[in-house]
Amino acid sequence: MPNISTIRKQCAQLISIGIEGKSLTHEEKSWLAKDWVGGVTLFHRNIESLEQVIALNKEIFSCASLDHPVIMSVDQEGGRVARLRGIMTDTPPMGLLQRNVQQNILNLRKEDEPKANEEFWRKLGALMGRELTALGFHMNFAPILDVNSNRNNPVIGQRSFHHDPKIVARIGAAFIRGQQSSGVAAVGKHFPGHGDTSSDSHFELPKVDHPLSRLKEVEWPPFQSAIEAGVAAMMTAHLIAPHLDSNIATVSKTILQTHLRESLGFEGCIISDDLGMKALSNTYSLEESACLAIAAGVDHLLVCNPPYNLESILDALVRAVENGDIAQERFHEALNRNNTLKKRYVGAPAAPDLAQARTICRNDVHLRLLAEATRVDLRNPEERRSQNSPDISPVYDT
């Protein structure tokens, strides 16, 4: 077995962290220099302007080892979950945007509508991918593949494309193809499906109380379609699906291995939602969650909100690998999937270029695509505000 220092660096490749502010702290620089970080995720608290984001991503790049480059990620779904609002081309919530697109292609022959709809979403995914790449990001935690089947759902709502699983499946796959064609890994979320819940996993543990037959009919077709489209990663949901397993999905071998891997055939990287969310942290410590999730089949962990003790989390993972709580085969599967993800979407790492980002982000071609779909000129502040809904304002930072 490799020595502890090597195992620690390997464990670190399975973790993306959130950082405190708009530049790195001394401690965060030290973590990067010691290869204790596999990725960095930026949130509202880290973002001020295009110039500042470029400077921060350059700083992270300069501190990280070239032998173990970090994967840079962000939550840029559109609508209320848009960390780069005003920096990238803004979009309404996906559900509202899909209605606008549908209304604006109704003059087509009915048999042409699905193709035109999918083509818009492919173009939008490619647009977002180009802008994210220019800013220095490699992975976007989008699209939402949850079906909006519960009007009382407090956390999904219009973040979802639609209430019809067939429509979510088609346009979700188109978005994935577009985004990944621009070099940004797409992350389908939240498996096994967060659409029909009545509580928010940021604050409590939701339940999806449906039998397997219903999940296969409603919740899972978008995930299956995403897999067929070659989605790079899937994100877990911190929820209970009692007809599948008594464990929370993120730490359930049955849900992740038996259903997502074996039944649906997913071979990419499984990413946890933030381990600090109350749905999980009310039951487990960060250290416990990290070990249980990797053992169950998660390949990459999100630890998003400081303060947290990264050294303690790494210590716990090292112990779990050494004592067999995380099997060697499982550990190396996770490492290999992370390496595959980085090889494709990080490659030979390069710092972002400010001039290029200014040229690509919010350019007229991109704004015109959104204007044609919404019949709103997003360059006009008054018209842009008319697209706002309660879903557009940032409400939390995970």
What are the two backbone dihedrals, phi and then psi, of residue 189, each rounded to the nearest 5 degrees?
-150, 155
Rounded distance, CA 17 to CA 3, Å? 24
Q: Do the beta carbons of residue 318 and residue 296 sit within 8 Å?
A: no
Hey, which residues does 236 pair with through a beta bridge?
191
Reported for 209-214, long-range contacts at CB under 8 A and 24+ positions apart, including other chains, are 209/241, 209/242, 209/243, 210/241, 210/243, 211/243, 212/243, 212/244
Task: Answer yes or no: 44 catalytic.
Answer: no
User: Rounded to the nearest 10 degrees, how much is the dihedral formed by the CA atoms of 63, 133, 22, 60?
Assistant: 0
Helix, strand or coil, per DSSP, at residue 20: coil
Q: Do the beta carbons of residue 22 and residue 53 sit within 8 Å?
A: no
Catalytic member of 138, 162, 190, 202 = 202
Nearest CA to 189 out of 170, 179, 176 is that of: 176
Strands in the chain per DSSP E:
15-18, 39-42, 71-74, 76-78, 81-82, 139-140, 185-191, 233-236, 269-274, 300-303
CA of residue 297 relative to chain centroid, distance: 17
| The pairing of beta strand 76-78 with beta strand 81-82 | antiparallel
Task: Answer yes or no: 202 catalytic.
Answer: yes
Catalytic residues: 202, 273
